């Protein structure tokens, strides 16, 4: 997936593009299930009364607001969060209405580290830590297949010509 095409330089290619791991959606899905179950329970209780239609409308409105706030909002945040490694830089973009982004040129990266605990290892995700020329290392949480991303990023930073893996357009260049 070539994201974001309009932000890439002429000779720049996307190496990897990831959204956060799906584990960040577990809470919103659980909230959805709880809201639907509670709404159905309350609608069943209200059906005993003569004013049940008004109660059903009120329950439906409250359930829709809760689902919108806790489930759809989180899904939209997940969908609009991007972690991108290109041949020249690492980019992170997040936000729905107000966007936030950071670009780290490959030449400024000093070290790349990953961390993941037992649960992250079971789910196949983790935290990627990039130390650059800035004061504080940057941490990117919930990166899917973090060990593979770490390895690809390390290869891009070192750009070893003897390496047999060169993503993107460089794959057959110069060989």
Provide the mean pLDDT of the chain.
85
Contacts 24+ apart (CB under 8 A), 160-166: none
Is residue 30 situated within a structural domain?
Answer: yes
Q: pTM, whole model, 2 decimals?
A: 0.73
CA gap 8, 14 in Å, rounded: 8
- Per DSSP, 31 falls in state H
* For residue 162, pLDDT beyond 70: no
Please give the residue range of the domain that contains residue 73. Answer: 25-77
86 in the same domain as 68: no
Is position 3 within any domain?
Answer: no
The number of distinct structural domains making up the chain is: 2
**Predicted pLDDT at 30:** 96
- The pLDDT tens digits for 137-150 are 889 999 999 999 99
Same-domain status, 155 and 96? yes
Same-domain status, 73 and 92: no
| pLDDT at site 49 | 85
**Exposed / middle / buried, residue 97 (Cβ in 10 Å: 0-12, 13-18, 19+):** exposed
**Helical pair 26-46 and 52-67, crossing angle rounded to 10 deg:** 180
Is residue 4 domain-resident? no
| Distances from the Cα of 118 to the Cα of 30, 126, 154, angstroms | 22, 10, 23
Q: For 35-63, what is the mean pLDDT?
A: 93
């Amino acid at each position: 997936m070539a994201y974001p095409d309009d932000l890439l330089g002429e000779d720049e290619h996307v190496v990897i593009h990831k959204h956060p791991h799906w584990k960040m959606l577990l809470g919103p899905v659980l909230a959805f299930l709880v809201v639907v179950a509670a709404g159905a329970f309350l609608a069943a209780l209200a059906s005993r009364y003569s004013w049940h239609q008004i109660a059903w409308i009120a329950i439906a409105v409250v359930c829709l607001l809760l689902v919108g706030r806790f489930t759809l909002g989180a899904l939209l945040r997940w969908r609009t969060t991007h972690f991108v490694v290109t041949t020249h830089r690492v980019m992170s973009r997040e936000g729905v209405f107000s966007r936030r982004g950071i670009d780290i040129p490959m030449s400024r990266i000093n070290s790349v580290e990953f961390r993941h605990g037992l649960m992250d290892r079971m789910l196949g995700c983790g935290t990627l830590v990039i130390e650059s020329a800035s004061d504080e290392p940057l941490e990117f949480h919930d990166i899917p297949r973090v060990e593979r991303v770490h390895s690809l990023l390390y290869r891009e930073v070192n750009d070893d010509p003897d390496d047999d893996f060169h993503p993107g357009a460089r794959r057959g260049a110069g060989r």
